Amino acid sequence: MPPHDTIRAVEWKDNHLILLDQRKLPHAEHYLQLYSAEDTAEAIRNMVVRGAPAIGITAAYGLLMAARKAFKQYPHDWRARLQPDIEVLAAARPTAVNLHWALQRMLKALDEHDADPIHTLMAVAQQIHQADIEANHRMALLGSELIKPTHGVLTHCNTGSLATGGYGTALGVIRAAYGEGKIEQVYADETRPWWQGSRLTAWELMRDKIPTQLICEGAAAHLMKLGKISWVIVGADRVAANGDVANKIGTYSLAVLARFHGVRFMVVAPTSTIDLETVSGEQIPLEERSADEILNVNQQRIAAPQVGAWNPAFDVTPGKLVDILVTEKGIVLRPDTEKLSTLMQS
């Protein structure tokens, strides 16, 4: 695997969690030291850490810290005392299913091996973390095989090492394809209103010396019309059983534009993001955030006085607009209910 991967946004050291504060990027690399579930949930909610896989990993470590504290303070009643912390972590971000998946996996392990709960939870959290990195490398290889030598691809939001345990989902595929000489230019949407493209993706790719140009969301159709890209490659926060994909707001419009212009649309996501209990995208809870994120930039108001704003953080792309879903278990062409069910049983 080529050496285009130098960033780790989530780390466990000794007895606590270390997060790269992504709100400060690209101007400063500031790390926060967290010691409790409450602080971890706040970091997830306030987007210190973001990206579905990274949120799941962070929540697992948050639960570990909560269990250690409860076990020390209430050795005979610690499990019941843990419940409020579980609920706080689960409520931090509603759309990313990885958060709930990670918590459920931790609790299941606790039910099966409660003789030494802290050791058990530590092992599972670290396994979730390492397995995510390994899955990203696997997806990168699978996705890169689909890309023929081309001059450009377009990506949206941030799906790299900053959004995962390491290497990345969609950016993992881009990293691998670039390392194999298949991609000359990456185009990254600015991704309003949190600017994950301009602040995070551009910073991450520039740091790893991958040629990148920013575009505003409104330029995507023109970019496709000019024939400058052959793929749109994005991640996912949740994939419903029928193949509908919830991702950062603006993903749906890219899928529509890609289909019209004959550009292929790839979603790269680990199977922990696939939610077979959610029948379709209509059942996925879509987070709406504060209007201030649209009305202000760096605490400076840019909008006209007294105007309001609607700020959905995610949208849903119908599965029929997804050409390829890449997971660590394999590739799914035009994902639907039957294909995803078969994949998850493999």
Q: Which residues are catalytic?
A: 237
- Rounded CA-CA distance 104/90 in Å is 10
- d(C-alpha 241, C-alpha 52), whole Å: 17
For the chain, the C-alpha Rg in angstroms (whole number) is 20
178: phi then psi, degrees, rounded to nearest 5: -65, -45
Distance CA 312, CA 93 (A): 13
Q: Residue 20's beta-bridge partner residues?
A: 31
Q: Write phi, then psi, for 139 (nearest 5 degrees).
A: -65, -35
Pairwise CA distance, residues 343 & 335, whole Å: 10
Strands 274-275 and 150-155: unpaired
